[in-house]
Chains A and B, each alone.
Chain A
Amino acid sequence: MKETKYDCIIVGGGITGVGIARDLSLRGLKLLLVEKNDLSEGTTGRCHAMLHSGARYVYKDKEAALECAQENKILLTIAPHITEPCGGYFIAVNSEDMDYGDIFRTECEIAGVWCEEINPQTFLSKEPNCNPHTIRVFKVNDGYIDPFLLTYYNAYDAQLHGATIKAYTKAERLLLDGDTIIGIECFNVLTKRRNKYYTDIIINATGPWSSYLEKDLSLSHPLKIAPTMGTLVVVKDRLVNGLINRLRPPGDGDIIVPSHNSVIVGTTSIPVEYEQLDTLRTTPDEIDYILTQGEYLVPTLKKHRIIRFYSGARPLIDSGASLREASRRFDIIDYEKEGYSGFLTIIGGKLTTYRLMAKEISDLVVSYLDIDAQCSTADQPLPGGDRLINKERFEEILKVDKKTAFDMQFKWGTFYKEIFEMCERCMDPFSEPNIPQKICECENVTEPELSWVRERLAIKVLDDYRRRTRQGMGPCQGIFCYYKLANLEAKHTEKTHAQIMNELKIALQKRWKIQYAADDVLKRQIKLSKYIYLLGGHLK
């Protein structure tokens, strides 16, 4: 059998990797992307879901700030279905913050980032849950973005343009021919098989894990990554309509982002070791600290239930400077300088600027391969994003309730048509036409949506549904929907019962693992879940 050779292989299925995959496949390259877990399961899926306006970076890094401002506009037009231009505010709650206001305004002007001072009273009428002692407010263009679907739509488009995407495939070893990198050996964690893939160029887009692939090379300047962990706490109820930032140089616990029916509060910055990256542990103290800081923005924050929390790692390059000051811009490392050809690492940046990062490295790739192909990602809408489909339309076509329609409008865009067809298909043939069955009551996820992602967005195991649909992300921690999901998996796939039980166990254990740091209410919830599945259902 002849080995297939790819024009380019990308390692890492976070937003950076899939962004590159899309860019290059739109330029006509034949490529492969490998990701060791599910796409977006790394830093991308653990971020704050914030579509930066750039305002947060004006003080420290004007270049990055301007990039954010520009990419923000582009993403709102190419991905209207998974972004929300809800706007953001920088608010001052004490005199120190108040004084920073003047600097903030000047810095925004210099950076070219839009901001406008507004009356605190006007602000409070729009954001009644925010601190009544707010004394100064600037409005900015921050927005919300779904980091998961952003990743899946990029990957889906790449696939539509011929790319091969392999999730649950870990790149283990670079294959070298002298000083030239010619391919990569991978391990499929589901089938437990090893395979070799060949190519001219490998792009290492593994975020905080970037130094791993360098192990096969002897380098005079190996990458020095100083990962810092950031924690985010998801609190029940959509307490704010726009993003709320503290008016001060970036610090801990000073942003609140509205996301579906909850808010995400964060974050922190704690140095961690490479060995900890796969098992980042949030501490109860950190959660309390974040919420205490968050209370300056929304005073009633602690009265609301914590739904979950998670930590991600920023892949900062150790430059000796203080950690938060390390550049927010990104780096492209070409190993040609070290005497190896065919290997590039891209690291840093932000979710908001992924497209620009992908463009820059893709330009480099096509020039290496001597191909004349332009980047088209700035005006090619992402799949489903041709135009905005509002919630009324979802209500009308899919016959779902208002709450479900509200959630759907941030997910499917013009795919509503396919989901509608799915609707008719998932109805049992002998029952009358009906409204789609809601499988996850907390996050309003219906059966046709689950069927659609199964067919279109490459589901491998049960846990994959969650990131694509938000199934199981709500207050009940998936207690009352995972068994229904497992039942649908039994109905629609060839998987054996034992296989499904194994996947169910892994998915639930991921939900349960936060129990050690949970508060009493969340602990009890997780314990009930264990009773239901382990005792009632005898899941072993």
Chain B
Amino acid sequence: MKENNEPIEVSIIGGGFSGLYLAILLKMKGITCEIFTSGTGASQFWVGTVDFLDYRQNRDLERSFKEFQKEVPHHPYSFFPFSKIERSFTYFFSQFPDFKMFTENEKLINRPVLTSLGNLKPCIGIWHSIFHEFQYLTKESTVILVDFSEFFNDVMYLVAKNLHDTFACSYRILNLSFKTIFDLIGENGDEISIKDKLSEYRIASFFDTHSSMATISILGNYIKKEIIKQFPKLDMKHVDFILFPPILGLKTEKKIIEELSKLLNLKCKELVALSPSLISKRFDSELNEKIKSLDIPLHKNYTFIDFNKDANSKMWWKLKFMNKKGDLCNIHSKCVVFAVGTLFQEGPFANVEDFKEIFNKNLLSIPISKISPSYELTFHNGQGSNIFVAGSALFSFIESITEEDEIKYGTGLGLSILTSTQIAEELNRLK
């Protein structure tokens, strides 16, 4: 990257879901921005749901939210009026049709999904393919859960046990083998494995490149045959669902699942993933494609290490980055958004003392007792700084939020969506 003295309108530090979604929102409002990101974030572990107040089973979200605002007034959520929350989520879901939003009478609601540990977790939306149709389960139902013998990262027995304990339905674990599937399709499994082990990512890519109808029907026939072989006495009339681990492709899972459902005459669904998850890869690549098509510059392997007021213009910020090779480079920017998450923070954020130091020397005190409703940091004198904080990174900036609160009160995609929406509107207003 070339050093440039022309300032960027908005620089976004951190390319997790918060940073990427914000960039998309800004670009759609005609605000130019660039993203700088160092590497992995919590977004690479995301398992497929959109959480918002996930500790509340209560379906009436508006009421829950009012209680929440009183209970945890410093939480970054607490500044939103509920109507705005609904608007932000509805807009997000309209932009990404691969998600399914949970509503009732056109109101946003929490609904349970099965997590990777078999627990039920309330959330406001999911990646489209995830199983959530619990209302169809009765004592008479049977669910088939697919356990691929070479895929180590699934937890079908745990999930099955809770389905049984909670809904009294029966279950069967269907053992399938990728090796057999490769043989049937005429592929060499060796290329998909690393050190004798099948790589999840490569399995998913395999399905992406083999999603022709012919291949799907081979898969369907194999499953049919194995069901008869393994459960000769099972009455298919009682089977309601067949649940897969989420590895049937990174791009084509929709098609594969639809076609399999038709072929098997059973509803096929995926379970929420385990971490690091393939579902997160799907959403991440969808976001990245959008970023690309919108021509937003995304600088990977750039770690933010320091910033100063720009000497040329008191209005601008000068940001210092280090790339993978250790080279330094400076960027000038009018506005800065930190979307560095809380789990994989690099540079000064990795150490509390460094973190405090670089902000305090710029007359911004960190951590703050309360953030402004637009998520903008203010100078000691109370003036706006043109520096914003988005997504889960907020938890590192706000003093009174503990790690327990962070996990308990629903940090998640919900927070990314809401804060990015708010910041985009604020920046639009400032423009």
Q: Which residues of A contact B (CB under 8 A)?
A: 401, 427-432, 434-435, 437-439, 483-484, 486-488, 490-491, 496-498, 500-501, 504, 520, 524, 527-528, 530-540
Contacts and interface: CB of A to CB of B under 8 A. Distances in A.
B407 A534 contact: yes
18 contacts: A401-B196, A434-B149, A437-B152, A486-B117, A487-B154, A490-B157, A501-B119, A520-B350, A524-B344, A527-B403, A528-B45, A528-B343, A535-B51, A535-B411, A536-B47, A538-B120, A538-B121, A539-B119
Interface of B: 42, 45, 47, 51, 54, 115-121, 147, 149-150, 152-158, 160-162, 164-166, 175-177, 179, 195-196, 226, 229-230, 274-275, 342-344, 350-351, 403, 407, 411-412
A539 B117 contact: yes
Contacts of A537: 115-117, 119
B158 A531 contact: no
B407 A536 contact: no
Nearest to A537: B117
A496 B161 contact: yes
Contacts of A484: 152-153, 155
Given A486-B155, A490-B161, A497 B116 contact: no
Nearest to A530: B407
Nearest to A526: B403
Interface residues of chain B: helix, strand, loop or mixed (majority):
loop
B283 to A, nearest CB: 14
Nearest to B229: A430
Nearest to B407: A534
Given A535-B412, A537-B116, A537-B119, A496 B165 contact: yes
Given A430-B226, A484-B152, A531-B45, A538 B115 contact: yes
Contacts of B150: 431, 434
Contacts of A539: 117, 119
Contacts of B412: 535
B42 A531 contact: yes
A313 to B, nearest CB: 30
A487 B407 contact: no
B343 A487 contact: no
A427 B177 CA distance: 12
Contacts of B344: 524
A170 to B, nearest CB: 30
Nearest to B116: A537
A530 B139 CA distance: 34
Contacts of A535: 51, 54, 407, 411-412
Nearest to A504: B117
A531 B343 contact: yes
Contacts of A533: 117
Ranked 6 nearest A-B pairs via Cβ: A431-B149, A537-B117, A538-B121, A490-B157, A497-B162, A491-B157
Given A428-B147, A490-B161, A500-B161, A536 B115 contact: yes
A531 B117 contact: no
Nearest to A534: B407
A534 B226 CA distance: 36
Contact of A531 (B155, B177, B407): B407
Given A437-B152, A484-B155, A538 B165 contact: no
Given A490-B118, A538-B119, 13 more contacts: A431-B175, A432-B177, A483-B116, A486-B117, A490-B157, A531-B407, A536-B275, A537-B116, A537-B117, A537-B119, A538-B120, A538-B121, A540-B119
The interface centre, meaning the residue of A401, A496, A498, A537 with most chain B CB atoms within 10 A of its CB, is A537
A535 B410 CA distance: 8
B123 to A, nearest CB: 9
Given A532-B45, A538-B121, A487 B158 contact: yes
Contacts of A439: 152
Given A432-B177, A483-B117, A486-B117, A538 B157 contact: no
Nearest to B55: A540
